[in-house]
Homo-oligomer: A and B are copies of this chain.
Amino acid sequence: MASTPQQSDGPVRPRGPRTRSRASHSLESVLAGAVEILDESGAQGLTIRALATRLGGGVASVYWYVSGRDELLDLAADSVLAGVLEATADVGGGDPIEDIRTIALTMFDAIVDRPWLGAYALRDTTSQIHSLQLYERIGEHVMRLDLTPRQTFHATSAVVGYVIGTAADLGQEPPAAVVSGEVSREEYMASAAAQWRALDAADFPFIHHILDEFDGHDDRDQFLGGLDLLLAGLRLQAQG
């Protein structure tokens, strides 16, 4: 999935000024480069130096477009949410709760695809315009339920909080492993299951009760299980 290095091969080219000695960026190219690095090596791999190298320029030029590493992460995450926004633009045909579910699931899938997203999406709506629009979009569907403003506010925040929270949790690599490729997520989950199995059943009746469900479970099913509880509660509230 890595993009080609975009190697600037010196001051080549026959005629024309095009010296190439000086790199030229834009906010879009900076964020696109950041997203590439994030996809390849996670948040830890996104250093300003690595980004500058990928862009073929010096470190300091990044700071022309972005105030620092934190803002870079926020904006890179937010830029990706444009895709979720687009993918959910048409949602709205039927049952409001069904529509909310569809949007939430699209968000979840986007974060599963890019685990680093969970920690930086929807963090600061004053700088993250797409995050704000996504919040707005979910909220508009919740409004269709004719609750009070307060209920509408709480329900929308709960859905967003649940999605981000659950997805961020899943996106977290086990203590230093996955990125370096030493341990796959499957191996890690299997070892966790084994460790649970070794626990004393008298001390951990619940863990043993759900062990077979945990072992080899599908993250998406787990996410949907909780989401549907939340939405069932919401439907109940909407019915009065």
Residues of chain A touching chain B, judged by Cβ–Cβ distance below 8 Å, are 68, 70-71, 74, 122-127, 132, 135-136, 139-140, 142-143, 149-158, 161-162, 164-166, 168-169, 172, 174-176, 191-192, 195-196, 203-207, 209-210, 212-214, 217, 221-222, 225-234, 236-237
Query: What's the least CB distance linking A153 to chain B, in Å?
Result: 4
The complex places the Cα of A212 from the Cα of B168 at a distance, in Å, of: 29
Let me know if A225 and B152 touch, CB within 8 A.
no
Main secondary structure of the interface of A (DSSP, over half): helix
Please indicate the chain B residues that have their CB under 8 angstroms from the CB of A71 in the complex: 175
Please indicate the chain B residues that have their CB under 8 angstroms from the CB of A230 in the complex: 158, 162, 226, 229-230, 233
Query: What's the least CB distance linking A30 to chain B, in Å?
Result: 17
Asked whether A140 and B232 contact (CB < 8 A) given A153-B217, A191-B126, A213-B149, the answer is no
Q: What are 15 of the A-B contact pairs (CB < 8 Å)? A: A139-B206, A140-B206, A149-B209, A149-B210, A149-B212, A153-B213, A153-B222, A156-B206, A158-B162, A158-B230, A162-B226, A229-B234, A232-B237, A233-B233, A233-B236
Let me know if B127 and A175 touch, CB within 8 A.
yes
Please indicate the chain B residues that have their CB under 8 angstroms from the CB of A221 in the complex: 154
Let me know if B152 and A210 touch, CB within 8 A.
yes
The complex places the Cα of A195 from the Cα of B135 at a distance, in Å, of: 15
Let me know if A136 and B206 touch, CB within 8 A.
yes
Asked whether A222 and B68 contact (CB < 8 A) given A125-B192, A164-B169, A169-B164, the answer is no
Let me know if B225 and A155 touch, CB within 8 A.
yes
Asked whether A226 and B192 contact (CB < 8 A) given A70-B176, A136-B207, A169-B161, the answer is no
Let me know if B165 and A70 touch, CB within 8 A.
no
The complex places the Cα of A162 from the Cα of B210 at a distance, in Å, of: 19
In-complex Cβ contact of A210 among B70, B124, B153, B229 (8 A): B153
Query: What's the least CB distance linking A96 to chain B, in Å?
Result: 13
Let me know if A209 and B139 touch, CB within 8 A.
yes
Query: What's the least CB distance linking A69 to chain B, in Å?
Result: 10
Can you name the residue of chain B whose Cβ is closest to the Cβ of A162?
Answer: B162
Can you name the residue of chain B whose Cβ is closest to the Cβ of A159?
Answer: B226
10 closest A-B pairs by beta carbon, nearest first, are A165-B165, A158-B226, A154-B225, A139-B206, A232-B233, A229-B233, A233-B233, A153-B210, A161-B166, A153-B213
